Amino acid sequence: MPASARLVVLVSGSGTNLQALLDACADPAYGARVVAVGADRDDIEGLARAERAGVPTFVRRVPDYTSREHWDRALTDAVAAFEPDLVVSAGFMKLVGEDFLARFEGRMLNTHPALSPSFPGMHGPAEALAYGVKVTGATLFVVDGGIDTGPIVAQVAVPVEDGDDQASLHERIKAAERAMLVESVGRMARAGWSVDGRRVRLG
Ligand code: GRF
């Protein structure tokens, strides 16, 4: 890993995970810096956070391309132009395609607001609540071709409380998720990592 690992962060929404990374990167000892933020839509708080931090942004919208594959190639090229050591999907609500995975294999992370392999997909907090689990959480993983299936970097457990609704549970998960993301990305940036089958080792 270089002295300061280059992060490209992908967002689709409020960008609180991105903000946590931007705040951590303000300390040079953290070992990483956000060199660009990409999105699949305009006018989101995640992009505004990047702009306030003086970080370059780019947007690649699926409807602007003739096919999903074409979009995937455009996104891949946009990310690659910033030469990332790690690509962090932080609330990026699109699955990337084959080109993207081939280019960034083993160095793209995603966070999922559930304890994998439970409740993959877009509705982790709501499905955990509906199932009645007493403990859920968040999972940081290395992206593969599946939906929230990649090798696990870190997990954090979060209790479900009796009065929870989907919003309160997701907010509690997100607080734990941000801390896990910052801690793990920092360790990866400073000490490196390896992926051996489903096992991820930091350092
Ligand atoms: C996070 O809980 C992430 O796991 C999920 O969407 C949320 C994004 O939050 N996919 P934010 O945009 O980082 O605030």
pLDDT > 70: percent of the chain: 99
CA 162–ligand 1 middle distance (angstroms): 23
| H or E element, residue 127 | helix 124-131
Radius of gyration of the chain (CA): 16
Could you report the per-residue pLDDT of 37-61, keeping only the tens digit for each? 999 999 999 999 999 999 999 999 9
Q: What is the CATH topology of the domain spanning 110-203?
A: Rossmann fold (3.40.50)
Q: For the residues 133-139, what does the mean pLDDT come to?
A: 98
Is residue 2 pLDDT above 80, yes or no? Answer: no
Nearest Cα to Cα of residue 188 among 176, 201, 177: 201
- Which residue's structure tokens are 């190639």? 73
Question: What does the angle CA 105 – CA 53 – CA 12 come to, to the nearest 5 degrees?
Answer: 50
pTM of the model: 0.96
Q: For the residues 90-116, what does the mean pLDDT come to?
A: 96
Could you report the per-residue pLDDT of 139-190, keeping only the tens digit for each? 999 999 999 999 999 999 999 999 999 999 999 999 999 999 999 999 999 9
Among protein residues, the one whose CA lies closest to atom 7 of ligand 1: 91
Is residue 1 pLDDT above 80, yes or no? Answer: no
Among protein residues, the one whose CA lies closest to atom 14 of ligand 1: 16
Q: For the residues 188-201, what does the mean pLDDT come to?
A: 97
Between β-strands 5-11 and 32-39, what pairing exists: parallel, antiparallel or unpaired? parallel
Q: 1-104 with 110-203: one CATH topology?
A: yes
Given this model, what pLDDT does residue 3 score?
78
Among protein residues, the one whose CA lies closest to atom 6 of ligand 1: 91
Query: Is the CB of residue 10 less than 8 Å from the CB of residue 87?
Result: yes
How is the chain split into domains, by residue range?
A: 1-104, 110-203
- Using CA atoms, how far residue 21 sits from 135, 162, 181, in Å, is 26, 31, 8
Could you report the per-residue pLDDT of 17-27, keeping only the tens digit for each? 999 999 999 99
Task: Give bridge partners of residue 36 from the DSSP assignment.
Answer: 8
The CATH class of 1-104 is alpha beta
Q: For the residues 187-201, what does the mean pLDDT come to?
A: 97
User: Sign of dihedral through CA atoms 137, 30, 191, 143?
Assistant: positive
Given this model, what pLDDT does residue 185 score?
98
Question: Tell me, what DSSP letter sits at residue 28?
Answer: G
Is 112 part of the annotated catalytic residue set?
yes
Q: For the residues 66-75, what does the mean pLDDT come to?
A: 97
**From the alpha carbon of 113, which atom of ligand 1 is closest?**
4
Please provide the average confidence, as pLDDT, over all residues in the chain.
97
Is 14 touching ligand 1 by the criterion CB < 6 Å? yes
Task: Give bridge partners of residue 7 from the DSSP assignment.
Answer: 34, 86
**In whole angstroms, what is the distance from residue 136 CA to residue 71 CA?**
34
Given this model, what pLDDT does residue 30 score?
98
Given this model, what pLDDT does residue 203 score?
87
Q: How far is CA 144 from the centre of its chain?
A: 13
- Using CA atoms, how far residue 152 sits from 10, 80, 90, in Å, is 19, 24, 15
